[in-house]
Amino acid sequence: MKDISLENLMDIIVRSLNQMDAQLTGHGERVAYCMVHLLEKNPQFSDEEICKITWIVLLHDIGNFHDIGISDLVKKEYNTDFSHARYGYLFLKYFSPFAEYAPLVLFHHSSHDRVDASSMSEKLKWVTKCLQIFDTTDLYHIRHPQITKQALLNYLKRLSTIIFSEEAIETIEQLAVQSPDNSLPFSLPPQEEIHEFLLKRLKRMDVTEHEEELLLRTLVNSIDFRSHYTAIHCNIMVHVSDLLARLCGLDEKTCRSVHLGALLHDLGKISIPLRILESNGKLEGADWVVMQAHVNITEHILQGKVSDEVLQIAIRHHETLDGKGYPYGLSSQDLTLPQRIVSVADIVSALSEQRSYKAPFTFEKILSILDEMCANGKICPHVVGILKENREIVYQEIQTASTRAMGIYERIQKEYNELGDAQIE
């Protein structure tokens, strides 16, 4: 049995992406809604293809983590050098289960000439051109909610010589004729109805447990990879959590809860400014308050979408046995063994990583710090004892997870730069 329903999986992804920029709330769903309606009219696309493309379109702004505001997106709509399009493409290429459709994201801000020159199939070139125009239309309408249909069409036509193909403009014009709404070239129902429509559409394709995991990892890695200081964090934490859960003798169901709680524990960092994540020193004052809020944001994203066991594991990783942790100041009697395991794994991961203010600690130093935290009543001596009894296995798990994650991170950075160079040529 899958741990997360399709509905809840979609909600977690949408809620997380909505945290990037309040102005972009619902943007991905609206663009996906328009794409689905268009694809359903084209007999070239099967139900399965439409569902896979829909997932990709929902995630098309997943690379947008460099504090790019909606004003910048629209003002630069005709600029082909969009870093978030390159990053989003690479995240989807390396992590998503539908990587064959990732080029849609790479080119969704490119000129139609560049799309035509790409190696995509003619079908995907057409999808990309339509994605471009739906994306631009929704962004422009967000900034100009009172704009008339004709004024919006005129705006799109002004950009047509730079970015949009005649074919895409004709598609929008045909939709405009069919739409009774004067404010858009196509009619959109309320956001709740759009959400329900997409969910119903996506249910036509079975998402396997493996694909579910990959979709979540795509989201999680897009958050961790915001900075090279955090690129390996979740990967180490999940591996160490999984290992400690097994070594502590937890049953299979609880081990799975530990895995999901660890995987999803930092979703709230999607809305934390990069300058705070990469701070050179100890966070204080308002910045520390902002950083602590990532747990509450994670709770908001996951509330009602995962089991309570998974939720509590995810949001209690900064609680301590002495009651001085956050966000709720819980103490030893409140914290279960799975929650204590993930808390220790989070600390091990943080100490293993290079950060802006420190080099990675040696494993012996990490064990020494864990002993000190146990002595000070912060973390669970039983879990730390199990870790120390199996130190060689734990150390190897850290090295394996770190090497694998950093290898992918460096590959993505290399390809990101190569794609940028190719655009300049």
Reported as a single tens digit per residue, the pLDDT across 160-180 is 766 777 777 777 777 666 666
241 with 151, same domain?
A: no
Burial class (CB in 10 A: 0-12, 13-18, 19+), 275: exposed
274 with 320, same domain?
A: yes
**Inter-residue contact 124 to 104 (CB < 8 Å):** yes
67 with 189, same domain?
A: yes
175 with 270, same domain?
A: no
87 with 183, same domain?
A: yes
Q: Which whole-number Å values give the CA distances from 372 to 256, 342, 384, 389, in the listed order? A: 30, 18, 11, 17
User: Is residue 214 in some structural domain?
Assistant: no
273 with 158, same domain?
A: no
pLDDT digits (tens, 9 = 90+) for 277-298: 877 777 889 989 999 999 999 9
Enclosing domain of residue 126:
6-207
Distance CA 106, CA 201 (A): 24
116 with 19, same domain?
A: yes
154 with 243, same domain?
A: no
Of 207, 237, 261, the residue that ends a domain is: 207
Phi-psi region of 329 (alpha: psi -120 to 50; beta: other; left: phi over 0): left
Distance CA 137, CA 157 (A): 11
The maximal CA–CA distance of the chain, rounded, in angstroms, is 72
User: Is residue 133 in some structural domain?
Assistant: yes
User: Is residue 329 in some structural domain?
Assistant: yes
230 with 181, same domain?
A: no
What's this model's pTM, rounded to 2 decimal places?
A: 0.90
Beta-carbon neighbour count of residue 22 at 10 Å?
Answer: 9
pLDDT digits (tens, 9 = 90+) for 347-394: 999 999 876 666 788 999 999 999 999 999 999 999 999 999 999 999
Q: CATH number of the domain that 340 lies in? A: 1.10.3210.10
Of 155, 173, 207, the residue that ends a domain is: 207
User: Is residue 116 in some structural domain?
Assistant: yes
Nearest partner of 132 among 100, 97, 171, 93, judged by Cα: 171
| 3-state class (DSSP) for residue 358 | strand
User: Is residue 76 in some structural domain?
Assistant: yes
So what's the pLDDT on residue 184? Answer: 58
| 231 secondary structure, DSSP code | T
Distance CA 74, CA 97 (A): 30
pLDDT digits (tens, 9 = 90+) for 302-353: 999 999 999 999 999 999 999 999 999 999 999 999 999 999 999 999 999 8
What DSSP string runs through 365-384? HHHHHHHHHHHTTSS-HHHH
The average pLDDT across 15-38 equals 90
Least confident window among 79-88, 231-240, 379-388: 79-88
User: Is residue 418 in some structural domain?
Assistant: no
Q: Mean pLDDT in the chain?
A: 87
Tell me how many domains the chain contains.
Answer: 2
pLDDT digits (tens, 9 = 90+) for 118-158: 999 999 999 998 898 888 888 888 888 777 777 877 777 77
